[in-house]
Chain A
Amino acid sequence: MACNSATCQSGCYRDDNDKLDDQFPLPAPAPATVPNHRQQTTNGVSPDGDSNDSILCVKCKLNQPMAVDGNIGLFCGDCFRSNLYGKFRFSVTSNALISPSDNVLVAFSGGPSSRVALQFVHEMQMKAQKNFDASRDRSLPVFGVGVAFIDESLIVPVPADEFDKAIEEMRFVVSNLAPPIKQFYVVPTESIYSSDSDDGRNRLKELLTGVSDITGREDLLEHLRMLALQKVALENGYTKILLGTCTSRIACHVLEATVKGQGYSLAADIQYVDARWEIPVILPLRDCLAQELHTLCSLDSLKTLEVLNGHNSGINALITSFVKLLQEENPSRESTIVRTAGKLTPFHFNRMPEVDDCNIRLASQRRQKKYNLKPNESLPPESFCRICNSPLKKADVKSCKMEDGKMSAEVFRDTCCRSCQFQILPKDISAVEHFHSLLPLQMVARAEYNNLGEDKDGLLREQIQDCLLSDTEDGT
């Protein structure tokens, strides 16, 4: 093994190719559908000519590098593509993000990141299918892929005709991918409410208009998006949710969390695996820059839809433009930010829960399995913010008493992180109760589980740790 570092930027994972290929073979250098972009980018210069031969692709040393934003890039088109796919595949294989029995739901927004994520997971699935067809015993199944779009048009209005057109194009993108066939789900955010859709719509609207801080509203909508993804995944038998979150997005998130006082929970959000959810979430594009994903989309003519991607505002917008400025000044800045944050200690749920393959399809069993996981002894169980599900620092958790299982507004507020208390909850405590009543059940239930379950024990244990006699169970 050449390098164990998941964030190694040197490209040295290539040494592992042979071993990794057993499970997920490399794609053919270029899919048949890809037009000859290389000839376009080297426009006017004969590939065999001597005129510009001093500059060659750093990888194959044969072709001329393609142009990136008007500059000469490092790679030729083919090598660029395989390098980017290599980063994706390496993060999948080295972190066991996808196993053959998985059913993966890709969160698709229409933007370049999730478009590439969909493309790559599709290519990986095709290779697995090829291997399956070629193998004699057909023992390894091929993982399934579905695609979900979260429809936020109730909150971020889009003209109806534009919206319908965009949905049709997305449907077309998904149906145009080679078999195995992928389901496409259009999931309105209000589906997180189990009640009928009119009621759900009203509650969602009321919930969001109750948040006066624009950054808070935006963040709440993002938390709700995850709930909607969890719901559609759970209802349709998916075992993983795949997000197209890239390095650039993570760099922004690092600063967003820092600026919002969420330094403690930050490490939870930026790993390849986030299994604090019922359906584990995976981030296989963690090591790819937004700019690379853009380049691939134009190189391979991958259709992206910007119509539906609302622009952010408030604190988040300020950070986006700050990071953009830094990146312009130094093209490795985003990677450096993510590398810094990558050195923070992750949480126990940032590993893939180990589950027997035969059980994986049974969500209920899976869930049980997950919580029966032997907790890592050095890491006590966490309690989580009711709204954003971020792990709470023990010192910030106020012991909360519930009377007759009913939760007062004060207790509810204390089960939210400081950041959500400030930017999402109403300032006026008398309004908090109503706000609570508007929250979807998943948020309410989550916290009750956390606060009544094993976490209390863990908290207690930690508080009295120094007066406990040494635990000899481990023989240490």
Chain B
Amino acid sequence: MEGETAKPAKGRVCTICNQRRAALKRPKTLEQICRECFYAVFEQEIHGVIVENQLFKPGERVAIGASGGKDSTVLAYVLSELNRRHNYGLDLFLLSVDEGITGYRDDSLETVKRNEIQYGLPLKVVSYKELYGWTMDEIVKLIGLKNNCTFCGVFRRQALDRGAALLKVDKLVTGHNADDIAETVLLNILRGDIARLSRCTSITTGEDGPIPRCKPFKYTYEKEIFTYAYFKRLDYFSTECIYSPNAYRGFAREFIKDLERIRPRAILDIIKSGEDFRISTSTKMPEQGNCERCGYISSQKWCKACVLLEGLNRGLPKLGIGRSRGVNNEPGKNTKQAKGVESIQSKQCGNLDF
């Protein structure tokens, strides 16, 4: 805690059990605790969030969006563990998207396939190629390295939903952690997006849609997820998407890391603020309809994926990106969103997109 002088190390005994040797300083609270106690509080907190928010009902089929990265790997591990321990009665599945990125997705998919065996969870892989007729490699060949994360994000989001529908699951859980959510709160403030600001802290979204999504890691710190994966020696894939060559972390992400350094609690405080903002209920997201082409939920005539696809298939790949106009020819609407977003870009697509 800022301003406070560091306490003398009291022989480094765990402050929770007072027996074992402390092995780490818990990122969230800076308490010095042992490994076993860390596992216990980490898992217990997530269990508490699941129960308190009634995320699941017994007998539900739940897909875990699995990228092979550390967030979703830890989520798969912890969720199957808690499901067993606390008798949630859930049917759990791993759901992966194969974007068709040689060298990146090949390897991360191998990781997910190992997880399938390690955790005993059935795995479903949906590929861009079968859904859209294009792999990311082919898209990049056509449009170059710029803007390709637009495709990654839009296509992956839909791909997950479609995979979930194929698996006939009731819910889709993703590995978004507290840092991700705090970052989204800040980005929405910086971009002036009050509608997204009002719902970006919801633990469950899309309840009116066919398959609700939820985030059991809403209050879990990224650092703790790392720590957990490290101590448990979980098998995850750590390379970021090779099509984000800037490895751009964004001002907001850096800012959150700086904040966490002087006041770990700040991440939770940002989420609390996001939940408490007084936003009038009339501030809603644009009316959701369905894409005329593929039936996916969309506020416009065509969903974003169909607009992008149309561009690819017609050889006009810039269609639907940034300021260019496309089928949903509503001047101003897309333009406003695109303006100034580049430099305060959110997390890279190595993680599952919002």
The residues of A with any CB-CB pair to B shorter than 8 Å are 212-217, 254-255, 257-264, 266-267, 314-315, 318, 322, 325-326, 329-330, 332-333, 336-337, 339-341, 343-345, 393, 418-419, 422
Contact = CB atoms under 8 A, between A and B. Distances in A.
Interface stretch (B70-78, B88-96, B188-196, B212-220): B188-196
Contact of A266 (B2, B265, B277, B344): B277
A255 B186 contact: yes
Nearest to A268: B278
Interface string B193-215: 11001000000000000000000
Interface of B: 1-4, 185-186, 188-194, 197, 251, 255, 258-259, 262-263, 265-266, 268-270, 272-280, 283, 340, 343-344
Contacts of B197: 340
A255 B191 CA distance: 13
A458 B258 CA distance: 41
Contacts of A318: 255, 258-259, 262
A345 B186 CA distance: 18
Given A315-B262, A336-B191, A340-B194, A215 B273 contact: no
A283 B192 CA distance: 22
A326 B251 contact: yes
Contacts of B279: 343-345
B3 A212 contact: yes
Contact of A345 (B1, B266, B278): B278
Q: Is the interface of B mostly helix, strand, loop or mixed?
A: helix
A36 to B, nearest CB: 38
A343 B279 CA distance: 7
Contact of B3 (A213, A254, A330, A393): A213
Contacts of B1: 212-213
A340 B278 contact: no
A422 B265 CA distance: 10
A263 B255 CA distance: 18
A259 B278 contact: no
30 contacts: A213-B1, A215-B263, A257-B273, A258-B185, A259-B266, A259-B270, A260-B269, A261-B270, A262-B273, A263-B273, A263-B276, A266-B277, A314-B2, A318-B259, A322-B255, A326-B190, A329-B251, A330-B340, A330-B343, A332-B340, A333-B340, A336-B190, A337-B192, A340-B189, A340-B190, A340-B191, A340-B192, A344-B194, A345-B278, A393-B276
Contacts of A314: 2-3, 262
Contacts of A261: 268-270, 272-273, 276
Contacts of A267: 278
A96 B328 CA distance: 44
Contact of B192 (A213, A264, A339, A393): A339
